[in-house]
Amino acid sequence: MHQPTRYAMIMAGGSGQRLWPLSRKSHPKQLLPMAGGRSLLAMAWDRLDGFISTSHRLVCSAEQFRGAIITALDGIDADNFLGEPVGRDTLNAVALTAAVLAKRDPRAVFAVLTSDHIIEPAEDFRARLEEGFKVVEADPSRFVTFAITPTYAATAYGYVERGAALAGFDSAFDATRFVEKPDRARAEQYLASGAFGWNSGMFVFSARTFLQAVERFCPANYAGVMEIAHAWDTAKQRETIDRVYPTLSKISIDYAVMEPASKQDGTHACRVSVLPMSVQWLDIGSYPSYGQVLEPDAQRNRSNAHWTNVDSSGCLVLSDDPTHVIATVGCEDLIVVHTKDATLVCPLSKSERVKEAAEHAPSAVR
Bridge partners (DSSP) of residue 39 are 33
- Structure confidence at residue 252 (pLDDT): 94
Query: Cα separations (Å) of 313 from 123, 280, 303, 316, 320?
Result: 36, 26, 12, 9, 21
Low-confidence winner among 29-38, 49-58, 63-72, 356-365 (lowest mean pLDDT)? 29-38
- Structure confidence at residue 2 (pLDDT): 66
Cα(350)–Cα(225) distance, rounded to whole angstroms?
40
What is the arithmetic mean of pLDDT over 245-255?
A: 96
pLDDT tens digits, one per residue of 101-119 = 999 999 999 999 999 999 9
Cα(115)–Cα(323) distance, rounded to whole angstroms?
29
What is the arithmetic mean of pLDDT over 268-279?
A: 85
Q: What's the alpha-carbon Rg for the chain, to the nearest Å?
A: 21
The alpha helices in the chain, defined as continuous H runs, are 40-46, 66-72, 89-104, 122-138, 184-193, 207-217, 219-231, 237-244, 253, 259-262, 287-291, 354-360
CB 355 within 8 A of CB 17: yes
- Structure confidence at residue 285 (pLDDT): 87
DSSP state of 149: P
Residue 96's pLDDT band, with cuts at 50, 70 and 90, is very high
CA atoms within 13 A on the CB side of 309: 23
CB 136 within 8 A of CB 109: yes
- Structure confidence at residue 334 (pLDDT): 98
Q: Which CATH number fits domain 5-283: 3.40.50.2300, 3.30.930.10, 3.20.20.20, 3.90.550.10?
A: 3.90.550.10
pTM: 0.92
- Structure confidence at residue 94 (pLDDT): 98
Cα(147)–Cα(194) distance, rounded to whole angstroms?
12
What is the arithmetic mean of pLDDT over 3-11?
A: 94
- Structure confidence at residue 264 (pLDDT): 63
- Rounded to the nearest 5°, which phi and psi values hold at 56? -110, 15
Low-confidence winner among 27-31, 48-52, 302-306 (lowest mean pLDDT)? 27-31
Cα(323)–Cα(346) distance, rounded to whole angstroms?
22
For residue 251, is pLDDT > 80? yes
Q: Where are the domains of the chain?
A: 5-283, 289-365
pLDDT tens digits, one per residue of 200-211 = 999 999 999 999
For residue 363, is pLDDT > 60? yes
CA 158 to chain centre: 13
For residue 319, is pLDDT > 60? yes
